[in-house]
């Protein structure tokens, strides 16, 4: 199939992301039915050629392929549970952010009502949909992924990770964890220099090239972690990585030390266990052991 070859799609949920997904389908010439519980959300998409459904049931009945992009796991069930009989024999692609366990539960629920299920984790913000740099991670039904891949590629690079419906969510959230911690680190730095008169914008100009350069260390850390030998020469030791000066400077600037203190605790846990001369990558062991 091509992206718009006899494809009829219903999109449930027209927040910023759902609207972006629907707009990309319309741009490609896909017949698209849209629904949102708040009236008026569909108006702009109708102007682009979408058919607005009065109810979620009407949207589901309109097409064999149903895309769901709602607020959370609970809202997916709230909308879809009353439509279980209507969904039987249809294909459900869930792009709502959920936990891996929730994605697996939805896959089991879909199987129980006779619907094919594919779960997706969107690695993009709404303006990126359909543009270079947008990607969506998928897991669940391989048949659904293969059948609709030309359509999925309208939104961004599509990558399939296996039949376990929770994997897309797992990898999505793992990447988001990396992003949010990095963002928090930037904001901590901006807060440190603010009392000295530097604006956040000026600090961003310094931080962006520095952080970009430092991402080159990821592969080296990964090789050490996967190899399991934290004594490999060339690593910065945990003792040398002590963040006491950074914490003291933050306090002196009158700002919270919460962001950096978390990393210091991970370092100290390994030092206390006798690993102070081993490499910084060993904090991975502090993180992967709960408690």
Structure confidence at residue 1 as a pLDDT band (50, 70, 90):
very low
Residue 4 has pLDDT above 80, yes or no: no
How far apart are alpha carbons 51 and 3 in whole angstroms?
18
Which pLDDT does position 234 carry in this prediction?
87
pLDDT at residue 268, as a whole number: 97
All CATH 1.10.1040.10 domain ranges of the chain, comma separated, are 199-288
Beta-bridge partner residues of 135? 123, 157
**pLDDT on residue 277:** 96
Residue 276 has pLDDT above 70, yes or no: yes
**Rounded to whole angstroms, how far apart are CA atoms 267 and 249?**
18
In the chain, CATH 3.40.50.720 covers 8-170
Pairing of strands 91-94, 135-140: unpaired
Which pLDDT band holds residue 290 (cuts at 50, 70, 90)? Answer: confident
| 247-262 pLDDT, tens digit each | 999 999 999 999 999 9
Which CATH architecture group holds 199-288? Orthogonal Bundle (1.10)
**Beta strands at 135-140 and 116-123: parallel, antiparallel or unpaired:** antiparallel
Q: pLDDT tens-digit profile of 130-178? A: 999 999 999 999 999 999 999 999 999 999 999 999 999 999 999 999 9
pLDDT in tens, 165-203: 999 999 999 999 999 999 999 999 999 999 999 999 999
- For the chain, what percent of residues have pLDDT higher than 90? 94
Mean pLDDT, residues 225-241 taken together? 94
Count other Cβ atoms within 10 Å, centred on residue 118. Answer: 26
Question: Using 50, 70 and 90 to split pLDDT, how confident is the model at 5?
Answer: low
The pTM of this model reads 0.92
Angle 11-16-20 (CA atoms, 0-180°, nearest 5)? 55
pLDDT of residue 102: 98
CATH number for the domain formed by residue range(s) 8-170: 3.40.50.720
Mean pLDDT of the chain: 96
Mean pLDDT on 82-104? 98
pLDDT digits (tens, 9 = 90+) for 24-39: 999 999 999 999 998 8
pLDDT above 90: residue 64: yes
Question: Is residue 242 scored above 60 in pLDDT?
Answer: yes
Mean pLDDT of the 93-117 span: 98
Task: With CA atoms as reference, report the closest residue to 158 among 126, 125, 127, 118.
Answer: 118
């Amino acid at each position: 199939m091509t992206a718009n070859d006899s494809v009829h799609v219903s999109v449930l949920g027209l927040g910023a992301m759902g609207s972006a997904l629907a707009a990309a389908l319309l741009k490609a010439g896909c017949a698209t039915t849209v629904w949102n519980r708040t009236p008026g959300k569909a108006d702009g998409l109708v102007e682009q050629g979408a058919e607005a459904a009065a109810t979620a049931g009407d949207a589901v009945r309109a097409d064999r392929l149903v895309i769901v992009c709602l607020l959370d796991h609970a809202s997916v069930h709230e909308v879809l549970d009353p439509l279980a009989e209507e969904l039987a024999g249809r294909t459900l692609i869930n792009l709502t952010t959920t936990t891996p366990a929730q994605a697996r539960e939805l896959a089991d629920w879909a199987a129980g009502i006779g619907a094919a299920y594919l779960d997706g984790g969107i690695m993009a913000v709404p303006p990126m949909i359909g543009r270079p740099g947008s990607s969506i991670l998928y897991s669940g039904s391989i048949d659904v992924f293969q059948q609709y891949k030309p359509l999925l590629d309208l939104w961004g690079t599509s990558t399939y990770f296996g039949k376990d419906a929770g994997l897309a969510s797992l990898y999505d959230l793992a990447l988001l964890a990396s992003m949010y911690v990095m963002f928090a680190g930037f904001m901590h730095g901006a807060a440190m220099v603010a009392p000295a008169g530097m604006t956040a914008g000026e600090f961003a100009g310094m931080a962006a090239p520095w952080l970009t350069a430092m991402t080159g260390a990821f592969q080296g850390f990964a090789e050490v972690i996967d190899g399991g030998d934290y004594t490999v020469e060339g690593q910065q030791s945990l003792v040398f990585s002590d963040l006491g000066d950074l914490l003291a400077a933050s306090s002196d600037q009158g700002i919270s030390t919460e962001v950096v203190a978390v990393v210091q605790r991970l370092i100290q846990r390994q030092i206390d266990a006798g690993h102070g001369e081993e490499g910084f990558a060993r904090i991975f062991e502090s993180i992967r052991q709960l408690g």
